[in-house]
Amino acid sequence: MVALVTGGGSGIGAAIARSLSSAGAALFLCGRRQAALAQLASELPGPVRFATCDVRDPSSIEGTVAQCVEGLGRLDVLVNNAGVFGPTPVEEVTLDAWDEVLETNLRGPFLFARAAWGHLRSSHGQIVNISSVAGVQGFVGNSAYCASKFGLNGLSEVLALEGKAHGIRVFSVCPGSVDTDLWVPHSEESERARMMRPEAVADLVRWLVASPRSIAVAPVVVTNFSSPFSQD
């Protein structure tokens, strides 16, 4: 199995890469920071390639998919994980900030799915879109983020419908708060300590792509048992 993971240098993406690699997958990692990608690639046991990629740039995405297939021979699983997050009251959201969130969190997965579609048709492959609980529930200060994740869940549903005829499965995973660097500017250390670990999401992704091909799975919402922001 060959898996391409976006945002693969840290956080949930790095955890997914480790989990899939431990299950025997060959990995192609992409992200913005080459040093982080290279460090993770050096730690994984199986075949690993990596490249920097701007998920807002169609040519960068097409080149990344081509490098993956050329270097590893095929593409079986696309994990759209790259994302940005920054709570801001709606009256303070600039158009540039809105565009950055939508282009990264929604347009990027669409462009990757489009670029990978032919290869996934050949392999009867799978797509895993890392969405968010903010894709099924609104949160104060998250107009752009919620819009992007609600949109990603809608995109996932359409991809699943269109992919079925070609043997392509599509999953949408919607985690609650996960202890990653995205939360550092927006939470206390004590709150992050109560968040779920990236490995919990990664193990779920590994289970989904290994699950029997006879089953389909609706968007999976996985949240913290107790709110990280309350000790009640």
Q: What is the mean pLDDT of residues 198-207?
A: 98
**Is residue 89 domain-resident?**
yes
- Structural domains of the chain, count: 1
Look at residues 18, 138, 16, 140 and name the one whose alpha carbon lies nearest to residue 80.
Answer: 16
Q: Which residues are bridge partners to 22 per DSSP?
A: none
CA atoms 67, 71, 76, 82: torsion sign? negative
Categorise residue 99: left if φ over 0, alpha if ψ from -120 to 50, beta otherwise.
alpha
**For residue 46, what pLDDT is reported?**
85
Identified catalytic residue from 145, 172, 178, 179: 145
* Residue 232 within a domain: no
In CATH, what number is assigned to the domain containing residue 192? 3.40.50.720
- The predicted pLDDT at position 183 comes to 77
Residue 24 belongs to a domain: yes
3-state secondary structure of 93: coil
pTM for the whole structure = 0.95
Report whether 77 contacts 3 (CB < 8 A).
Answer: yes
Interval 135-162: pLDDT, tens: 999 999 999 999 999 999 999 999 999 9
pLDDT tens, position by position, 55-106: 999 999 999 999 999 999 999 999 999 999 989 999 999 999 999 999 999 9
227 assigned to some structural domain: no
The pLDDT-based confidence of 185 (bands split at 50, 70, 90) is confident
Q: Longest C-alpha distance within the chain, in Å?
A: 52
Task: Tell the burial category of 43 from Cβ atoms under 10 Å away from its Cβ (0-12, 13-18, 19+).
Answer: exposed
Tell me the two tokens of residue 102.
């939508």
pLDDT at 232: 56
Residue 37, pLDDT above cutoff 70: yes
Q: Classify residue 101: in a domain, yes or no.
A: yes
Residue 131 lies in a domain: yes
Q: Are 1 and 76 in contact (CB under 8 A)?
A: yes
Closest CA to 121 of 162, 68, 67: 162
- Let me know if residue 121 belongs to a domain: yes
Cβ atoms of residues 120 and 163 within 8 Å: yes
Q: Does residue 110 carry a catalytic annotation?
A: no
Whether residue 229 is contained in a domain is answered as no
Q: Which residues constitute the domain of residue 97? A: 2-222
